[in-house]
Amino acid sequence: MNKPLQLGTVLLVAGLALVVMLARSAGADDHERAHRLRESGDIVPLEQILERALDLYPGRVIEVELEDEGKRQIYEIEIVDPRGVVWELDFDAGSGLLLEEKQEH
């Protein structure tokens, strides 16, 4: 009998896959920058943000970006919910606070 995967394991695997996807789409320099920011404590771990995002909007993560907005770093997460609706969630990468949530059209 198969055991259900624990949420932590699922989030870790999803986070690692997204980091690889982010590195491929944004380039190695962006990936290294994100890694340095996380290691220095300037941004919260992506896994923490993904857990919060999926708690708010259960579904499938389809895109993750770490963007510079002035002096602030923003995690931009896109999720497609079970109804097929795409949601964009912006989190302050330094504090983990949700800044904005909107439905994509």
Phi/psi region, residue 94 (left: phi>0; alpha: psi -120 to 50; beta: rest), is: alpha
105 versus 43: the higher-pLDDT residue is: 43
- pLDDT tens for 62-85 read 999 999 888 899 999 999 999 999
* CATH of span 7-103: 3.10.450.40
7 versus 40: the higher-pLDDT residue is: 40
Gap between the Cα atoms of 18 and 102, Å rounded: 21
- pLDDT tens for 10-67 read 555 565 555 555 545 555 676 788 888 888 888 999 999 999 999 999 999 999 999 9
